[in-house]
Amino acid sequence: MRSLNIEYSFLGNIKNLSAIYMVKEFKKLTFLEDLSFRFHKCGDLAADEDKDKVEGEGIKIFVAIFEKLKNLKRVNLYFEGSTDIGNHGLTSLCEALSKVNSLQIIKMNFASLYQITDKGLKAIQNLEKNSQLKEICLNFSRCEEITDQGLIHVANFLDKQFQLQRIRLNFSYCSQITDKGMIAMSENLKKQRSLESLALAFESCSMMSDLGFIRISEALKELKSLKSLDFNFSCSKQISNKFCDSFAENINNLADSLKMLKINLRHSSLVCDEGFVSLSEGLKNLHSLENISIMAHSAKQLTDACLMSLAQGLKACQKLKSLHLVFQGSAKITDVGLRSLSENLKKSSSLEQIDFDICWSSNLTNEGLDSLSKCFERLPLFNKLSLNLEECPQVTNACLSSLKESLKRSSRLQEVDLLFMDSGVTSESFKEVVNSLKEIDSLEKLNFSCSFYNDE
């Protein structure tokens, strides 16, 4: 056996889990290369004064698993919401993992563990001993006691690891983190010259400002090997167009390498049309880009100028295969912006998948949707569509006929997902379109939802 996956949810504390008492059996699996433990919301700690003792007993049994696994290459440890794991447990785990020299991938999820603090994160630095490590994935989302010092401990670990190819860090809802922690992180990210994939999530980190986000974006100009970039800076009330300007400038250095770009700026009320104009200018130079995801939920301040500039940026992405755009609640976006986007998309010879979410856009009408529908049939490789027009009251039955005919002409179409809840479309007309789409020979998956009519 080379791979083992064990999962428990909503059970008692770890020292009582039967899986852990299989340790003697695990020790016989000396050729094990891939180990995954998932303990979701497990734990039943004693009174506060006994927490360290209870946790110590449970984790002592758990870490013994690693003593004989000298060929282990990949480990995935999931403890989200499990109250048995705190600073002591995290420290013990990191010390045990640091002795497994064969490890190449370490993934650990400690989300929603209020008991983990900066003291526990200091143990992450022990992982610098894993000389063959290629990927690190750490999730401390909603660990509300973590401050800048905890982020600095992780940054210090990065300072000793120069062969990492993939980094994924999630500190969302850690409200005590400020620009100070981000600046420390950015300084050591610059040194990751072998990095191919970077994902950072700092959603709802309300103490951070443009200063910290800009410093992170400045680190990108040193990462010449980066192929995949995922920034989730949503619900950041202090992030503004200045970040977009810096981001667009620094991703120019990734023109020959970057293939996937994902940026989430939802509920960022200070980012307006000017910010997306900057982002669009940055896209024009990313000639290798294949996948783009841009999210701006509740973007009430955005207008047609946003989509028009974005259309020009996407026009330059000649290798684009997948496009995911979310502009929910953009009441100022009209048919003019959607028409501009459609006109530029239909010139793409490589585009395969479109995921477009423009729900709650009260000024969009059938005219705009008609131009978007006609775009689909012009894409020679188009095979997947996801379209959300929920609560678009001016979108009526008239747009469905054009959409239906266009999709039926897409000879490669394999998957369609349509959401028209609370729009001007009636269930009877929508049902007729769905029945027509079911007749498409190439179609493998159809999901749909409309007022008073839902199915899959």
User: Domain with 37 in it: what CATH number?
Assistant: 3.80.10.10
* pLDDT confidence band for 40 (50 / 70 / 90): confident
pLDDT, tens digit, for every residue of 137-151?
999 999 999 999 999
Task: Provide mean pLDDT across the span 156-165.
Answer: 92
Q: What percent of the chain has pLDDT over 70?
A: 89
* pLDDT confidence band for 38 (50 / 70 / 90): confident
**Does some domain include residue 166?**
yes
pLDDT, tens digit, for every residue of 166-195?
999 999 999 999 999 999 999 999 999 999
**Does some domain include residue 238?**
no
Q: What is the pLDDT of residue 42?
A: 67
Q: What is the pLDDT of residue 401?
A: 86
**Number of residues that this document lists for the chain:** 456
Q: Taking CA 296 as the corner, what is the angle to CA 237 and CA 445, rounded to the nearest 5 degrees?
A: 145
pTM of the model: 0.91
Strand partners, 40: 9
pLDDT, tens digit, for every residue of 428-442?
888 888 999 999 999
pLDDT, tens digit, for every residue of 376-406?
989 999 999 999 999 899 998 888 888 999 9
* pLDDT confidence band for 55 (50 / 70 / 90): low
Residue in 166, 162, 55 with CA at minimum distance from that of residue 106: 166
Sign of CA dihedral 232, 285, 186, 183: negative
425 Cβ contact list (under 8 Å, min separation 6):
389, 395, 396, 397, 399, 400, 450, 451
pLDDT, tens digit, for every residue of 315-365?
889 999 999 999 988 889 999 999 999 999 988 899 999 999 999 988 999
User: In 10 A of CB 238, how many CB atoms?
Assistant: 17
Q: What is the pLDDT of residue 48?
A: 40
Q: What is the pLDDT of residue 20?
A: 53
Task: Provide mean pLDDT across the span 28-49.
Answer: 68
The span from the CA of 91 to the CA of 93, in Å, is 5
Q: What percent of the chain has pLDDT over 90?
A: 65
Structure tokens at 248: 């667009």
Q: What is the pLDDT of residue 53?
A: 45
**Does some domain include residue 384?**
no
**Amino acid identity of 421?**
M
Count up the domains in the chain and report the number: 1
Q: Is the pLDDT of residue 69 over 70?
A: yes
Q: Is the pLDDT of residue 49 over 70?
A: no
Of the given ranges (65-74, 308-317, 389-398), which has the lowest mean pLDDT? 65-74
Task: Provide mean pLDDT across the span 245-272.
Answer: 93
The span from the CA of 254 to the CA of 274, in Å, is 22
**Does some domain include residue 298?**
no
**Mind giving me the DSSP string for 364-388?**
--HHHHHHHHHHHTT-TT--EEEEE
Q: What is the pLDDT of residue 13?
A: 55
**Mind giving me the DSSP string for 97-133?**
HTT-TT--EEEEE-TT-TT--HHHHGGGGGGGG-TT-
pLDDT, tens digit, for every residue of 194-214?
999 999 999 999 899 999 999
**Does some domain include residue 179?**
yes
**Does some domain include residue 194?**
yes
**Does some domain include residue 231?**
no
Task: Provide mean pLDDT across the span 55-79.
Answer: 79
Q: What is the pLDDT of residue 166?
A: 98
Strand partners, 176: 147
**Helix, strand, or coil (residue 199):** strand
**Does some domain include residue 111?**
yes
Residue 33 lies in domain:
1-208
* pLDDT confidence band for 23 (50 / 70 / 90): low
Q: What is the mean pLDDT of the chain?
A: 88
